Amino acid sequence: MTKTEKEQTRNLTEEVYALCAKVPKGKVTTYAEVARALGNKSLARVVGNALNKNRSTEVPCHRVVKSNLTIGGFAFGTDAKIALLKKEGIEIEEKIGKRANRKIQKIARSEFLYKFD
């Protein structure tokens, strides 16, 4: 990776973190919504990768979920992400999925969804 590419990646990561910091307690947003706010909805995976590298408690990356409102990943584990969301008043719906009896955890209601202006 060239010096310019590293700088661009660092700048994009900082923009992702700044957007996540705008999501208030009690709300969540999606990886795609953060990407859209960056100007390119196809950057959703890039947003997820940037957030996965975050270790700062100042960046509330636990407030970013998948577009289908399922919880998604978290650097400290899904259980920790769910605990943080519940602590902030987000209702989590849990059910057993059809495939492999896998537990599906998602945001209970879209009223918790935050959109960037």
The predicted-structure confidence for 4-54, as pLDDT tens digits, reads as follows 766 777 889 999 999 999 999 999 999 999 999 999 999 999 999 999 988
Q: Do the domain assignments include residue 57?
A: yes
CA distance linking residue 95 with residue 114, whole number of Å: 24
Report the pLDDT value the prediction gives residue 65, as an integer from 0 to 100. Answer: 95
Q: How confident is the model at residue 57 (pLDDT cuts 50, 70, 90)?
A: confident
Q: How confident is the model over 71-106, as pLDDT tens digits?
A: 998 988 999 999 999 999 999 988 876 665 566 788
Catalytic residues: 61
Tell me how many domains the chain contains.
1
Q: Is residue 31 part of a domain?
A: yes
In a domain, 20, yes or no: yes
Structure tokens at 75: 């650097």
Question: What pLDDT, on a 0 to 100 scale, did the predictor assign at position 106?
Answer: 87
Q: What are the phi and psi torsion angles at 56 (to 5°)?
A: -85, 135
In a domain, 117, yes or no: no
The span from the CA of 37 to the CA of 79, in Å, is 28
**Residue 18 maps to a domain:** yes
In this predicted structure, what is the pLDDT of residue 10? 82
